[in-house]
Amino acid sequence: MKINSISANFSVKSYGQNKLTPKKVTVPMPCDSVSFTGKNDNPKKVIILLGAPNSGKGTYARQISENLGIPQISTGNILRKEVKDGTDLGLQAKSYMESGGLVPDELIMQIFKKRISEKDCANGFVLDGFPRTLNQARQLDNILSEDKNTVTQIVNLDVEKSILYYRSAARYTCEDCSRTYSIKENYNPETAKCDCGGRLVKRADDTPEVLSKRLENYDKQTKPLIDYYGDRVSNITVQSKDTPAGEIIDTIMDKIG
């Protein structure tokens, strides 16, 4: 039998009333997070970033991950690595990604389940680019409910379309770690390197043609998630391409902190 927490009556000084009052104190045990009452005593933080392609999900997810000490899970980054490594999964996903379509839910759920079973996800994670369909969102809810967890915060980045095109043209991606950079002009592949030392390259799907296809798919398949999550969504509107990323991340942290 597993013991999740123990309760005991301790005498604890209650400063407000300046006298000793017996209080029930619950001491958590580090064995399992689900208690006998069916309530989760140590719920995971599960943060979703919604937004169109190039809305900045990756950049902000990385910041949130650093600020909260939980990993960023980007299905796009995982897929690009699989493609680069030429794995079976990569081969199956490649054509969908290059044409601006979505990779089938079945493959996505497979990589997602594998990733969240890793140790660093024990306290939660910030999701960037997942879920992207209603089916994925429902499956996510089911998976989380299995250990009495739930999505804790949802942020929607509502970014003006012209900014999405502008960012796509300026975006370069690190070949090794997938970090993205906005490089407006005079790009010199010899000198412009990622902080990790990796080469910065143009992603095959960062062209205006592919972006318009991706935006079409976003409207059809991903936007309905905003209604699915309803009033749990914190909306952040970005109207100018000059709004500093720091300002946006501060607003996000205020909403989810």
- Which parts of this chain interact with Zn ion (CB under 5 A)? 174, 176-177, 179, 194, 196, 198
Which of 171, 199, 213, 223 is labelled catalytic?
Answer: 171
Tell me whether residue 138 is one of the annotated catalytic residues: no
Q: How far is the CB of 14 from ligand ADP (least distance, A)?
A: 50
Q: How far is the CB of 42 from Zn ion (least distance, A)?
A: 33
With a CB cutoff of 8 Å and minimum separation 6, the contacts of 71 are 65, 120, 121, 125, 126
The nearer residue to ligand ADP, 35 or 102, going by C-beta atoms, is 102
Contact between 144 and 47 (Cβ < 8 Å)? no
- Give contact residues for ligand ADP (rule: CB under 6 A): 53-54, 57-58, 75-76, 79, 96-97, 101-103, 108, 129-130, 132, 136, 205, 214
The first and second tokens of residue 224, run together, are: 């309905």
Tell me whether residue 241 is one of the annotated catalytic residues: no
Indicate left, alpha or beta for 140 from its phi (over 0: left) and psi (-120 to 50: alpha). alpha
238 φ/ψ angles, rounded to the nearest 5 degrees:
-120, 115
User: E-strand spans in 87-179?
Assistant: 124-128, 153-159, 171-174
Report the partner that residue 177 touches, choosing among Zn ion, ligand ADP, none (CB closer than 5 to 8 A by kind).
Answer: Zn ion
Report the partner that residue 130 touches, choosing among ligand ADP, Zn ion, none (CB closer than 5 to 8 A by kind).
Answer: ligand ADP
The first and second tokens of residue 245, run together, are: 């990323």
Tell me whether residue 132 is one of the annotated catalytic residues: yes
Indicate left, alpha or beta for 38 from its phi (over 0: left) and psi (-120 to 50: alpha). left
Report the partner that residue 132 touches, choosing among Zn ion, ligand ADP, none (CB closer than 5 to 8 A by kind).
Answer: ligand ADP
Q: How far is the CB of 117 from ligand ADP (least distance, A)?
A: 17
Contact between 177 and 198 (Cβ < 8 Å)? yes
Report the partner that residue 196 touches, choosing among Zn ion, ligand ADP, none (CB closer than 5 to 8 A by kind).
Answer: Zn ion
Q: Is the peptide bond before 189 cis (omega within 30 degrees of 0)?
A: no
Tell me whether residue 179 is one of the annotated catalytic residues: no
Tell me whether residue 232 is one of the annotated catalytic residues: no
Q: How far is the CB of 23 from ligand ADP (least distance, A)?
A: 46
Contact between 234 and 255 (Cβ < 8 Å)? yes
3-class secondary structure, 151: coil
Q: How far is the CB of 50 from ligand ADP (least distance, A)?
A: 11
The first and second tokens of residue 19, run together, are: 């006298």
- Residue nearest ligand ADP, CB atom distance: 76
193 secondary structure, DSSP code = B
Which of 179, 193, 199, 203 is labelled catalytic?
Answer: 203
Report the partner that residue 222 touches, choosing among ligand ADP, Zn ion, none (CB closer than 5 to 8 A by kind).
Answer: none
CA dihedral 182, 192, 78, 45 (to 10 degrees): -60
Which of 44, 57, 80, 167 is labelled catalytic?
Answer: 57
Positions marked active-site: 57, 132, 171, 203, 214
